[in-house]
Structure 1
Amino acid sequence: MDISAGWDLVVIGSGPAGEAAAMQAAKEDLRVAIVEDQPAVGGNCTHWGTIPSKALRHQVRQLVRTQRNPLLRGILNPREIRWQDMIARTREVIDSQVHVRSGFYVRNRVKVFRGRGTITAPGEVRVDDANGRQWLLRSRNILLATGSRPYHPEDVDFDHPRVYDSDTILDMDHTPRHIIIYGAGVIGSEYACIFTGLGVRVDLVNSREHLLDFLDTEISDALSYHLRDQGCTIRQGEHYQRVVADDEGVTLELQSGKVLRADALLWCNGRSGNTQGIGLENIGLEANSRGQLAVDQRYQTEAEGVYAVGDVVGWPSLASASYDQGRFCAEAIAAGPDQPARRVTDVPTGIYTIPGISCVGRTEHELTEARVPYEVGQAFFKNLARAQITGEQVGMLKILFHRETLEVLGIHCFGYQAMEIIHVGQAIMRQPGELNTLRYFIDTTFNYPTMAEAYRVAAINGLNRIRR
């Protein structure tokens, strides 16, 4: 075993959280090592999660747009596109991301140890690689950024070739005519849009009563309507009883007595933190039932000198938030325990359905519960020149604001470029005092025609409501 001592920080996991922490720590002149047990850096986000699903979504969205264009209609049939061909293109994007991210470690002189990282004692991480070699890294600080994996109930056979999760769906070697998606959270809803866009019949089984019920109700209803309009069958408030897979397909038996039959099953019902087998017991740490760790304001666990960021700490489990958690944690480590630490707050939600959804701030339900006197300003995309030009007329932008002060309290967007549009409103909501009011959108000149112009339209609509 090779012993390598004198590290200031050893990071286990090279996803967004681990990468950001390593880069920030290196810029703070700390001696940093990162441990990754996969052949390439990038973590689940790059190889199985965010990047692949968004690359697939983009391809499907291009197909849908082609079908909508009167000049191109009929040239390409989505049903002629093979799943394997889309995955091949997605692999190209993944490879490009790996190339870019590998360069970060080289330029910042961060040593990458390839192998399985295990905490053997306080301040010690053993790395075992695929060839049987071992390193023992001794460090003042250890950061766990091990990410998460799809949750697997024990009574579902995920080794069967027709039963998939959000990781293994990328290895599917056929294009199903009919697929059941169990779990209608963010991942399940995104894949429902991808498959309906390909002309695949989809049964989306939701264990809750409403689709993505953490969203503003109007936005959630809009997504439900759009999915059904595209041919997706949404089954609300259903729970599985049994999954039976055979050579021809999969049968899903529900507790309500319903029986669904399809070519394949995609299981998207939750994720678990990757905390098993990394030596938590050697430093007195224990994860919760979902494999997640509790952390304080500085992202430090209950073990001195051991930190955790990203999916492994739970909410909000977004790549964007994980990246900032990693940065803020590294800043806190470099500054020392006596300095104030930053936490990730006001995270915008980005859901890459077709059309997309993004929001920041409070919902109408939350404001009503808090008895805040608010009003709504709306801009429907069908009335915007830019949306009419692009043919992307499905969707809306709504601004929730205080009736008396005009302070912007929440912004919710469904439709074309929602994930980009939201950042205009997010920037204004972060401004102090009078700078964060509806007046900004009314008094600011927006390029025309653009989707961002929806802010001006929505603001004027809202102001007219309280002037009546």
Structure 2
Amino acid sequence: MDQFDLIVVGSGPAGRRGAIQAAKLGKRVLVIEQGKRVGGVSVHTGTIPSKTLRETALNLSGWRERGFYGRAYRVKQEISAADLRRRLLITLDHEVEVLEHQFARNRVQHMRGKASFVDPQTLQVVKDDGEVLHVTGASILLAVGTKPFRPDYMPFDGKTVLDSDELLEIEDLPRSMVVIGAGVIGIEYATIFSALDTQVTLIDPKSTMLDFIDKEIVEDFIYQLRDRNMKLLLGQKAEKVIRQNGKVELLLDNGRHIVTDMVLFAAGRMGATDTLNLAAAGIEADNRGRLSVNPETFATNVPHIFAAGDVVGFPSLASTSMEQGRIAARVAVGAIAKEPPKYFPYGIYAVPEISTCGLSEEEVKERHIPYECGIARFRETSRGHIMGLDTGLLKMIFSLKTRRLLGVHIVGEGATELVHIGQAVLNLKGTVEYFVENTFNYPTLAEAYKIAGLDAWNRMGDIKSEL
């Protein structure tokens, strides 16, 4: 029986970052991955595939150039599912190669197989050929990620009714699509296929979407979706889904019928913990398969067993999962783990992108903080004109008392890149004067920070409030 300082189950963002961190500290580390290749959900069915699909769709459809050449403009007239997959496979091969090299360089051992607990320190690993191994770890990090929620009432067939994993394997692009679920994944795929000129209808039982995002940003985002003829049926629920004659018919709770070529069910995900035999380790998952942890150390109720990444729930971002895995690994092997900076960016890779960092206007109001906002529209920048942008909005919120930046919120082209300027200022406790007094490259979209800063400064005045 092999013994390790740290065993990591799962090689996604949390698992690989945790494993490499422990190895850099001189520990003996084993990563167990049940997938065919290392990388986890992030590389093979989640983050990297969906973002690659998005970039390919925008490039081949000529989406970014339509501001100049009209809505009928396309780089490739007939775009196929094979066109989308071609770039995806190249990207995935590169990601796996980089990860395997990182493991080799840092002397992280890894094996392919399905892991389950025998006792709190022992894992059984069943390999593809049926061989069974047992390994023990002084500490264990569970970074198994999530899988799509697949309710029994949904007639999945992998062709006309799919989950988000199956969507990557479609053979033909649908002329029409219904997306059930207005969460991050549903919205990303709905807007990507809309950019490919698929007629998309988005359905969700809630009357609102993306409630954790600043409301003004969501309103601008919804306006853009409706402007390009996406149907948003919020506050409505699909009660029945029937496959017939190559089409799918949906019956909504208000009596409405919808007929479509394809249905994507993207209403939630579940922690991939059902095969781990958690009871043998003394751990219990919630009804969605997620694990509860100490938010500072990521330890479960069993002190030497840790969990990180999507399996512990919100915010379920690859970026935060990496940091969670690193912190968990340091604690697991007895190293000091510094608390991460307070503010991290949240990115939604829809079309258009949304990214946010810090407090929303609604959160500022709830805390009764006197504040002022500054807004810039991308069309106000020279770079925006050069790129043909009619839309795009950057919003900053400042404290009237301290003049410090409280939050930055962006919807539009490059939002997930631009947000890092605001993130740095937030974590360094910068004020509105930073944006007013500093020089930004011209012409760039980043110049929107100066425009929004000046907008807020003009509204705030040059004297600190006595409120």
- Please, what TM-score do these two structures have when normalized by structure 1? 0.95
- After superposition, the Cα gap between the structure-2 partners of 1:309 and 1:218, relative to the gap in structure 1 and judged at 3 Å, is same
> Could you tell me which residue of structure 1 aligns to residue 426 of structure 2?
429
| Segment of structure 1 superposing worse, 153-162 or 380-389 | 153-162
| Segment of structure 1 superposing worse, 242-251 or 74-83 | 74-83
Q: What amino acid does structure 2 have at the position aligned with 1:134?
A: V
* 1:227-246 aligned within 5 A: 227-246=225-244
CA–CA separation in structure 2 for the residues paired with 1:160 and 1:440: 52
Structure 1 moving runs of 4+ over 4 Å: 69-75
CA–CA separation in structure 1 for the residues paired with 2:39 and 2:158: 28
Matched, 1:45 2:42: yes
The Cα shift of 1:88 comes to 2.2
> Could you tell me which residue of structure 1 aligns to residue 401 of structure 2?
404
Q: What amino acid does structure 2 have at the position aligned with 1:274?
A: A
> Could you tell me which residue of structure 1 aligns to residue 465 of structure 2?
none
8 Å Cα contact 2:406/2:426 also seen in 1: yes
> Could you tell me which residue of structure 1 aligns to residue 435 of structure 2?
441
> Could you tell me which residue of structure 2 aligns to residue 124 of structure 1?
122
8 Å Cα contact 2:22/2:329 also seen in 1: yes
8 Å Cα contact 2:68/2:388 also seen in 1: no
> Could you tell me which residue of structure 2 aligns to residue 361 of structure 1?
358
> Could you tell me which residue of structure 2 aligns to residue 10 of structure 1?
7
Q: What amino acid does structure 1 have at the position aligned with 2:234?
A: Q
The Cα shift of 1:160 comes to 5.2
* 1:149-298 aligned within 5 A: 149-159=147-157, 161-296=159-294, 297-298=296-297
- After superposition, the Cα gap between the structure-2 partners of 1:75 and 1:458, relative to the gap in structure 1 and judged at 3 Å, is closer
The Cα shift of 1:79 comes to 6.1
8 Å Cα contact 1:66/1:76 also seen in 2: no
> Could you tell me which residue of structure 2 aligns to residue 323 of structure 1?
322
CA–CA separation in structure 2 for the residues paired with 1:362 and 1:451: 22
**Residues 239-273 of structure 1 deviation map (CA, whole Å, 9 limit, x = unaligned):** 12111112411112111211111001001101100
> Could you tell me which residue of structure 1 aligns to residue 106 of structure 2?
108
- After superposition, the Cα gap between the structure-2 partners of 1:188 and 1:299, relative to the gap in structure 1 and judged at 3 Å, is same
Matched, 1:26 2:23: yes
**Residues 365-415 of structure 1 deviation map (CA, whole Å, 9 limit, x = unaligned):** 111122111100011111100111111331111110011321111100111
> Could you tell me which residue of structure 1 aligns to residue 371 of structure 2?
374
- After superposition, the Cα gap between the structure-2 partners of 1:260 and 1:254, relative to the gap in structure 1 and judged at 3 Å, is same
CA–CA separation in structure 1 for the residues paired with 2:247 and 2:84: 22
CA–CA separation in structure 1 for the residues paired with 2:33 and 2:403: 49
Q: What amino acid does structure 2 have at the position aligned with 1:59?
A: T
| Segment of structure 1 superposing worse, 367-376 or 25-34 | 367-376
8 Å Cα contact 2:62/2:74 also seen in 1: no
8 Å Cα contact 1:207/1:238 also seen in 2: yes
**Residues 174-227 of structure 1 deviation map (CA, whole Å, 9 limit, x = unaligned):** 111101000011111111111111111001112221231221111101111111
Query: For 2:178, what is the secondary structure of its paired residue?
Result: strand
> Could you tell me which residue of structure 1 aligns to residue 454 of structure 2?
460
Query: For 2:324, what is the secondary structure of its paired residue?
Result: helix
Query: For 2:350, what is the secondary structure of its paired residue?
Result: coil
8 Å Cα contact 2:343/2:358 also seen in 1: yes
Query: For 1:55, what is the secondary structure of its paired residue?
Result: helix
- After superposition, the Cα gap between the structure-2 partners of 1:160 and 1:329, relative to the gap in structure 1 and judged at 3 Å, is closer
The Cα shift of 1:66 comes to 5.8
Matched, 1:304 2:306: no
8 Å Cα contact 2:64/2:387 also seen in 1: no
The Cα shift of 1:334 comes to 2.6
8 Å Cα contact 2:352/2:412 also seen in 1: yes
CA–CA separation in structure 2 for the residues paired with 1:233 and 1:79: 24
- After superposition, the Cα gap between the structure-2 partners of 1:172 and 1:369, relative to the gap in structure 1 and judged at 3 Å, is same
CA–CA separation in structure 2 for the residues paired with 1:414 and 1:357: 4
- After superposition, the Cα gap between the structure-2 partners of 1:259 and 1:420, relative to the gap in structure 1 and judged at 3 Å, is same
Identity %: 38
The Cα shift of 1:458 comes to 0.6
- After superposition, the Cα gap between the structure-2 partners of 1:146 and 1:248, relative to the gap in structure 1 and judged at 3 Å, is same
The Cα shift of 1:322 comes to 0.3
> Could you tell me which residue of structure 1 aligns to residue 339 of structure 2?
342
Alignment RMSD = 1.7
**Residues 63-118 of structure 1 deviation map (CA, whole Å, 9 limit, x = unaligned):** 23365164698663666211232122212111111111111111111111111011
Query: For 1:447, what is the secondary structure of its paired residue?
Result: coil
Structure 2: give runs of 5+ residues left out of the alignment: 463-467
- Please, what TM-score do these two structures have when normalized by structure 2? 0.95
